[in-house]
């Protein structure tokens, strides 16, 4: 039975997959799980009642948005925008569920410390919010459905990455609800982009505190001490995106990346947080920290990134504050790639975009549109692109875990399926 992405929440089961001689423990999704829709005063969150999760999670496997198994792709940021709070271009209306594919491979590491999440139809953003971000948007809908995707690269252990996978999107929905409650306040209503940026900021800081064993959600504003999620030396990157009908919103903390393929160009939507970045080094040293070369530039000679969630032993030099980018969608947008540095260490942004775009086009030339019963295009093209990039990273000798999400941003491509010769 065909199942639409609106009805899809993936439950996880384990399988073993052999890739290039490496036995890899994998998690793949199943369909038709019971779910509940929770309305948070205008913001909708879908929850899988059979697993208790709202996330589609994958470890060491390639997974299709329809639950079948495959592999996935990504892109690398070279021409990164310095102003990560900037909106680029004029918005168009793309009111459909994007197709996506993802993979998470252990690769050459002894342990799997990456985590990945994909949640179509995650929450609803009131249209006035997007209208205020861009006054050129014709307000034809009461809301815009946003789809959530996230990639988390753990270090020192998998605990923080796993916690981010299960928690960040929920904390973000809660923060969006708080912003919405203040819509009637003129100062808030007139600066919605700043309010949404602050929602992402509070979300990341909140999860960082929870990892440290501090609950900032007390109704009286009083912090409560809880059991820490992991030791002080465990942390994770986080690059997440909300994709709605008019905009792509990206928040990044660490050195995982988001890259947009727009036409034949690659547009980096995040900038790696590295100690060697001039502004990051200046911030670290102003806080009393040091950047020391040990194989590469590291905070206090230890951590090779300047921002992360967790890593309390390096506070206040390493912070959890994300940088954000709001990008209006255009008809030239081909796909969005989120990936950990297991891909970016061996594949450049431009090459990843070019390969993902070509693999998606090639899949559609071979298979046509492959519409489902609900009128949506199946996500096999995005999955094929992801698979190709992941395998390429392995073949080029990536020594890290490799996690990639590819989101196909076009509703339907104008290709006819090749007809197979009749069997005689």
Residue 259 included in any domain: yes
Q: What is the pLDDT of residue 107?
A: 92
Asked if residue 292 and residue 263 are part of one domain, the reply reads no
Residue 102 included in any domain: yes
Asked if residue 228 and residue 281 are part of one domain, the reply reads no
Write out pLDDT tens, residues 282-297: 999 999 999 999 999 9
Task: Identify the residue with better confidence: 265 or 44.
Answer: 265
**Residue 326: pLDDT above 80?**
yes
Asked if residue 354 and residue 284 are part of one domain, the reply reads no
Residue 424 included in any domain: no
What does the radius of gyration of the chain's CA atoms come to, in whole angstroms?
21
pLDDT category at 24 given cuts 50, 70, 90 is: very low
Q: What is the pLDDT of residue 74?
A: 31
Measured distance CA(396)–CA(403) in Å, rounded? 15
Share above pLDDT 70 across residues of the chain, in percent, rounded to a whole number: 65
| DSSP calls for 83-130 | -TT-B-S------SPPEEEEEEE-TTSSS--EEEEEEEEEEEEEHHHH
Asked if residue 292 and residue 174 are part of one domain, the reply reads no
Alpha-carbon distances of 242 from 103, 153, 216, 304, rounded to whole Å = 19, 19, 24, 27
Q: What is the pLDDT of residue 66?
A: 37
Task: Identify the residue with better confidence: 216 or 34.
Answer: 216
**What is the residue-averaged pLDDT of the chain?**
76
pLDDT category at 68 given cuts 50, 70, 90 is: very low
Asked if residue 126 and residue 73 are part of one domain, the reply reads yes
Residue 338 included in any domain: yes
Asked if residue 293 and residue 162 are part of one domain, the reply reads no
Q: What is the pLDDT of residue 338?
A: 99
Q: What is the pLDDT of residue 15?
A: 26
Q: What is the largest CA-CA distance in the chain?
A: 77
pLDDT category at 217 given cuts 50, 70, 90 is: low
Q: Stretch 214-233: mean pLDDT, rounded?
A: 78
CB atoms within 10 A of CB 83: 10
Residue 78 included in any domain: yes
- Owning domain of residue 287: 275-307
Asked if residue 106 and residue 76 are part of one domain, the reply reads yes
Asked if residue 322 and residue 217 are part of one domain, the reply reads yes
Question: DSSP code of 258?
Answer: E
Residue 420 included in any domain: no
Q: Stretch 273-284: mean pLDDT, rounded?
A: 98
Task: Out of 251, 286, 307, pick the residue that ends a domain.
Answer: 307
Measured distance CA(409)–CA(243) in Å, rounded? 9
pLDDT category at 238 given cuts 50, 70, 90 is: very high
pLDDT category at 281 given cuts 50, 70, 90 is: very high
Give the three-state DSSP class for 44.
strand
Q: Stretch 252-277: mean pLDDT, rounded?
A: 98
Asked if residue 281 and residue 351 are part of one domain, the reply reads no
Q: What is the pLDDT of residue 414?
A: 62
For residue 115, give the CATH number of its domain. 3.60.40.10
Task: Out of 287, 307, 327, pick the residue that ends a domain.
Answer: 307
Residue 312 included in any domain: no
Asked if residue 106 and residue 166 are part of one domain, the reply reads yes
- Does the bond joining 86 to the residue before it have cis omega, within 30 degrees of 0? no
Write out pLDDT tens, residues 82-123: 344 444 555 567 777 889 999 999 998 999 999 999 999 999
Least Cα distance to 117 among 62, 171, 160, 165 occurs for: 165
Please tell me the total count of domains within the chain. Answer: 2
Residue found by looking up tokens 């875990």 in the block? 401
**Residue 211: pLDDT above 50?**
yes
Q: What is the pLDDT of residue 367?
A: 83
Asked if residue 161 and residue 284 are part of one domain, the reply reads no
Asked if residue 356 and residue 282 are part of one domain, the reply reads no
Residue 143 included in any domain: yes
């Amino acid at each position: 039975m065909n199942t639409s992405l609106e009805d899809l929440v993936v439950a996880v089961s384990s399988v073993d997959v052999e890739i290039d001689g490496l036995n890899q423990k994998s998690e793949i999704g199943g369909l038709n799980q019971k779910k509940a829709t929770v309305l948070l005063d205008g913001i909708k969150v879908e929850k899988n009642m059979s697993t208790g999760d709202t996330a589609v999670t994958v470890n060491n496997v390639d997974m299709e948005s329809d639950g079948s198994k495959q592999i996935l792709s990504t892109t690398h940021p070279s021409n990164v925008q310095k102003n990560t709070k900037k909106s680029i271009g004029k918005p168009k209306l793309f009111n459909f569920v994007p197709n996506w594919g993802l993979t998470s491979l252990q690769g050459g590491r002894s342990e799997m410390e990456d985590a990945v999440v994909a949640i179509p139809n995650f929450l609803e953003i009131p249209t006035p919010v997007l209208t205020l971000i861009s006054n050129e948007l014709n307000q034809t809908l009461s809301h815009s459905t946003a789809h959530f995707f996230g990639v988390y690269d753990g270090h020192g252990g998998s605990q923080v990455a796993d916690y981010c996978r299960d928690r960040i999107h929920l904390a973000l929905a809660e923060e969006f609800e708080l912003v919405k409650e203040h819509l009637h306040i003129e100062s808030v209503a007139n600066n919605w982009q700043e309010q949404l940026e602050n929602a992402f900021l509070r979300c990341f800081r909140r999860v960082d505190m929870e990892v440290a064993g501090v609950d900032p959600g007390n109704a009286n504003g009083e912090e409560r001490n809880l059991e820490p999620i992991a030791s002080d030396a465990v942390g994770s990157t986080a690059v997440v995106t909300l994709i709605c009908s008019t905009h792509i919103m990206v928040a990044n903390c660490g050195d995982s990346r988001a890259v947009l393929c727009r036409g034949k160009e690659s547009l980096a939507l995040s900038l790696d947080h590295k100690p060697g970045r001039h502004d990051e080094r200046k911030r670290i040293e102003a806080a009393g920290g040091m950047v020391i070369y040990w194989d590469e530039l590291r905070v206090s000679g230890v951590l090779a990134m300047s921002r992360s969630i967790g890593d309390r032993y390096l506070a206040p030099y390493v912070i959890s504050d994300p940088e954000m980018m709001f990008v209006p969608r255009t008809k030239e947008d081909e796909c969005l790639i989120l990936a950990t540095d297991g891909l970016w260490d061996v594949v450049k942004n431009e090459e990843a975009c070019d390969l993902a775009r070509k693999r998606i086009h090639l899949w559609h030339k071979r298979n046509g549109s492959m519409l489902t019963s609900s009128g949506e295009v199946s996500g096999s093209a995005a999955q094929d692109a992801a698979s190709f990039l992941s395998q390429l990273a392995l073949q080029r000798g990536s020594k890290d875990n490799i996690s990639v999400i590819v989101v196909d941003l076009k509703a339907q491509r104008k290709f006819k399926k090749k007809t197979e010769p009749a069997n005689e």
